[in-house]
Amino acid sequence: MTIMLTKHSHRGLVWVDLESPSQDELRKVATDYRLNPLVVHELASPTLKPKVDLYRDYAYLILHFPQGKRGNGQGARDLEVDFVVGKRFLITVRHGGSDVFHLFGKIFDANAALDKERLGAHAGFIFFHLLSNLYGALHHELGGVKESLREAEERIFQGEEREMVLALSHISRDLLDFRRSVSLHRDVLTSFEIAGRKLFGDDFSFHLRTLVGEYLRVEHSLEGNELSLTELRETNNSLVSTKQNEIMKTLTILAFIALPATTVLSLFQIDSVSRPIVGLPFDFWILVLLIAGIAAALYLWFKRQRWL
C-alpha cells in the first residue's frame, strides 16, 4: 500500500497531518516519532471524550469540534482531532475534512518558503497557531448563527410566527450540537496548560493561557446566541399564542351570534297549528330581516363591550 502523509517542515519543526489514516500510515508515524502503543491505538479509533495525557517527550490531546453547515436542522457531526505535541513535531489525526487545516497548511508552507520565523521556536507554537485558527473558525460560525437569529427576529415581527417555530427549532438543535462538542474544551486546555509548561517551559505559559482565552471567546459567543434564542422563542411563542387566542375568540363570538339565529329558524320549523309570520306575504324576507337584526344587535353589543 502506498503510504501518503501531508508533511510540513520549517527550520527543524515538523507538522504531520493525517486525514482518515490507514494502519500503515499510523505505524509509520508511530515508528518515526516513537509514539507509545497506547497512543497509536487511540489514534486508530474514535474517542468519545476529550482528554490530555502527558508522556516524557510529548503531550497527547483529543478535542472535538463542531463540523458541517448549520442552520438547516439536519444536525452536524463532530470532527475529532487528535494532537500529539512534541518539542520539534506536531502530529494531527482527524477522520474528516476541514478547511482550517487546509488553509493553515498553506500558511505554514508560505512561511517555510519565505524562511520566516512567525511560527515560533518549537512545535508548541504550531499547535498554538493551529488551535487559534480552529477557534477563530468556530467564532465565525457562531457569527453566522447570530445573523440567522437576527433574520428570524425580523421575520417574527413581520407576522411569520408560525414559520419561525420550525426555524428556531433548527437553530436550537444546532446550538445544542455545538455546545455538546465544545463543552469539555476548557478542562482539556486547563490540563494542557500544566503539561505545556513542563514540555516547553514557563515562557510558553502566556500562549497556553491565550488558548484558554480563545476558547472563552467562543463560549461567550455561544452563550450570547443561546440567550438570544431563548428570548426569541419566548417572544415567538407569545405571539403565536396571542394570535391563536384571537382566532378562538372570533370563532366563539361568531358561534354565539349564530346561535340565536339558528334557534329562531328552528322555532319556525316546528310543525304546529299556529306559526307566526309563516304564511304571511313576504314571510321569507321577514325572517331574513329578523335574523339579520338579531345578529346585528349582538355584533353591536360585542363591539360595545370591546370583545371585537
Distance CA 217, CA 136 (A): 9
CA triple 286-291-294, angle to 5 deg:
125
- pLDDT at 71 (0 to 100): 46
Q: How far is CA 210 from CA 127, 131, 132, in A?
A: 12, 11, 9
Query: Cell match 487546509: residue?
Result: 102
Start-to-end C-alpha separation, the chain: 79
> What is Dmax (Cα atoms) for the chain?
115
- List, for residues 144-162, the tens digit of each pLDDT value: 999 999 999 999 988 888 8
In angstroms, the CA 82 to CA 184 distance is 15
Identify the architecture of domain 6-241 in CATH.
2-Layer Sandwich (3.30)
Distance between CA atoms of residues 98 and 230, nearest Å:
31
Mean pLDDT, to the nearest integer, of 214-227? 95
β-bridge pairing 78-86 and 89-94: antiparallel
Q: Which amino acid is at 304?
A: R
Tell me the pTM.
0.79
Distance between CA atoms of residues 12 and 123, nearest Å = 9
Rounded CA Rg of the chain:
34
User: What band does 74 get if pLDDT is binned at 50, 70 and 90?
Assistant: low
Chain segment 240-297, per-residue pLDDT in tens: 888 877 778 777 777 777 777 777 777 666 666 666 776 677 777 777 787 788 778 8
Look up residue 44 and give its three cell numbers. Answer: 486508530
Q: Are strands 13-19 and 78-86 parallel, antiparallel or unpaired?
A: unpaired
Q: What is the rounded average pLDDT of the residues 93-113?
A: 87
Closest CA to 13 of 83, 108, 93, 95: 108
The mean pLDDT value for 104-108 works out to 89
Q: What pLDDT does residue 276 have? A: 72
